[in-house]
Structure 1
Amino acid sequence: MLKSGAVLVKYKSNGKKFSRRFFLDEYEDFISYERSSKIFHKPHIYYIKDIDEIRTGFHAQTFDRLIKRGIIKQNNQNCAFSILYDNHRKEEHFIASDMNTRNLWVKGLQYLMNQYAQKGQYQLIREENWILELFHSADKNHSNTLSKHECRHLFANSLNVKIPDHIFEDMFNKVDKTDKGILTSVEFVDLFNLLIRRKDLYEIMKKHVKNGYKQTMENIYMNRNELFEFLQQTQNQNAS
């Protein structure tokens, strides 16, 4: 249904409305609409991964204003829904031809949003598993811990990251909960995450991550390919 498309009326806060055939692209990455012969700009694309929430009915301020101005009627509520995206900074408001069409779009989009959320969680698990693989490869005596020397050796030889002594000592001590000079696998993951939260490295990370300039140091995230590229460049950063 979503891929074949359906006519939806999009309302703007100023009262203008546009009737377009909206559709889900064949790879299920975004929704868009067919170009109008009267409008020359490219149709807007709404990526599924950027959608934060789907609201049914008139549960949006834009709809409230349009009702008060008499532009839409209260009995259209069962056909209405809103898409909130880009961290709830943007909204789009639609009225379908009937409630069944509205429900198909709402349920379809919510399903796709859940699929993307699960993919994101799976990706995070994969990346943490990769970090743990590094941990176990460096644990030569199978003690399930890494010493300072083993951590330094891993960073320098496996990840090509050379960290100044005073910075490494500070980061290591922050995650070493027992103060025994050894790290468990959980503490090593914390150390790894602390490493990529350094302000100087954050500036490099932004250059390697898609839309990195929009991400803060606290929530910046990179996939494995971006991580490898990033780690290669940190060698030059730490050597300077």
Structure 2
Amino acid sequence: MPQNLTTIAFDADDTLWHTERFFRLTQEHFADLLRDFVEPGHLEERLLEAERRNVGHYGFGVKGFVLSMIETAIEVTDEKVPATVIRDLMASGREMLQHPIDLLPHAAEVVEATAKTHRVLMITKGDLVDQERKLAQSGLGELFSWVEIVSHKTPDVYQAAFTRYGDGPDRAMMVGDSMRSDIVPAVAIGSYAAHVPHGLEWELEKADAPADTTKFRTLGDLGELPALISEIG
């Protein structure tokens, strides 16, 4: 009897390794730098507005985040932001791009075990160079049959990936922390999806969970994934 599932795709950031917490720490530093100009809560709102405007232009990742912080700093200070602040923000971005990879619990063991029984893919968003660096440092690279680093995660992206590298969407599962990017578009094309919440969620990645489907499950952590895969068959 053929397997129901032959292809398992993993998101990377905050699914296999920590990412969002470094953005949060940098954003706290950003608030400290501009504390004399604007209240932190209002600054957070203005930064989110800039990120929402810019994500279509700069994409996801550290570089777009830094550019949005610089743009916000210029706006909230009426173009009076000190050059030292801009320099500090750029240095913070470089530090983020050089930060060592910190794998999430169970990531290595689960990917390794899954790769022995299924075709394993990585489908992730972000800056190409940064994501390639993180994958190389993670030690997981050789376990993946294919890696896709994309600008946006849409139903068409998943459809193409699961058709090209797997046996079609209905025999594939997407595993990730983002409801908007990892779960909703995968379920929309008939794939299975395992939501593994990270605990820190970027506002632009929030979405309602899929309704009226048996192909979606929320897990406590990645350690629960092998049992779910075995259950589906």
* Fold match by TM threshold 0.5: no
Higher-Rg member (1/2): 1
- The answer to which structure, 1 or 2, has the higher relative contact order (CA under 8 A, 6+ apart) is 2
Structure number having the greater strand percentage: 1
Q: Give the TM-score normalised by structure 2.
A: 0.31
